[in-house]
Amino acid sequence: MIDISDDVPKYKKKSKTKPPKKIDHKHTYEPCLIEFPEQYYLKEHNRNGKTHFQFASYCTICGKVGHIDRDRWYKDTKCREGNRSWIKVDFSEEAERELNPETRTLPVFWGECWLPKFVDI
């Protein structure tokens, strides 16, 4: 048996305090997905682990959640039937690709609700 414990530092120096968040900065937003429990308002009852995704953006420096680029992720189709008209909302093709875990390029963050104020980066 080879003892390699000498090569492994026993104590990793960890800083006890988190580095202060940069408060004084211009938020730099990048698109992301927020994954949240299906029934976030009843999350204690949500034991099946089912989740949903929400398109959003987050600041790469502090994690603040920003606006949703609606035009990018959704497409509206004007529908008309007789004198009735309505707008049908679908995901854009890009959104469909991002919702598919195999073709996804966006980072995914966990959210307690569909649009948290901050995400953990």
Q: Where on the chain is the footprint of Zn ion (CB under 5 A)? A: 27, 59, 61-62, 64
The nearest distance, CB 57 to Zn ion, in angstroms, is 11
- C-beta closer to Zn ion: residue 113 or 121: 121
26 contacts: CB under 8 Å, gap ≥ 6: none
- C-beta closer to Zn ion: residue 33 or 119: 119
- C-beta closer to Zn ion: residue 27 or 75: 27
66 contacts: CB under 8 Å, gap ≥ 6: 27, 29, 56, 57, 58, 59
Comparing every residue's Cβ against Zn ion, the nearest one is 59
- C-beta closer to Zn ion: residue 57 or 64: 64
The nearest distance, CB 64 to Zn ion, in angstroms, is 5
Distance CA 89, CA 99 (A): 16
The nearest distance, CB 36 to Zn ion, in angstroms, is 21
DSSP 55-102: EEEEETTT-BB----HHHHEEEEEEEETTEEEEEEEE-HHHHHHHSTT
